[in-house]
């Protein structure tokens, strides 16, 4: 299994309703892309003060590398991703992605 962790450095004027629509759209892909089985998102509460520049994030859960690759190239995901890039500081530079392979 793979946890696909995405941290967002949102632009100061990021449209919050647009962000909510993108998150709803990504969540709706769960189960529609084979092997994409979990999705959570929310504001970064940064309890350890280690990531103050990243105000929001999400975690997608995938059964395998193949499932994550299918998600990456899916046109629905790509369209939502383009909308997300537009909300971030520096576009794509405002997005940090971290993938963790899990044994469970």
Share of residues in the chain with pLDDT > 70 (%): 100
Report pTM: 0.93
Question: Parallel, antiparallel, or unpaired for β 36-43 and 2-8?
Answer: unpaired
**What pLDDT is attached to residue 91?**
96
Q: What is the mean pLDDT of residues 9-38?
A: 97
Task: Report CA torsion sign: 69, 75, 79, 82.
Answer: positive
Report pLDDT digits (tens) over 24-66: 999 999 999 999 999 999 999 999 999 999 999 999 999 999 9
102 pLDDT band (50/70/90 cuts)? confident
Class of residue 88 by CB neighbours under 10 A (exposed 0-12, middle 13-18, buried 19+):
buried
């Amino acid at each position: 299994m793979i946890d696909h962790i995405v941290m967002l450095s949102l632009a100061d004027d990021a449209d919050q309703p647009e962000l909510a629509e993108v998150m709803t759209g990504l969540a709706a892909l769960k189960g529609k892309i084979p092997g994409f089985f979990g999705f959570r998102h929310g504001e970064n509460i940064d309890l350890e003060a280690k990531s103050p520049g990243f105000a929001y994030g999400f975690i997608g859960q995938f059964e395998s590398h193949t499932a994550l690759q299918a998600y990456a190239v899916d046109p629905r995901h790509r369209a939502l991703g383009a909308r997300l890039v537009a909300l971030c500081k520096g576009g794509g530079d405002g997005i940090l992605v971290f993938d963790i392979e899990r044994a469970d």
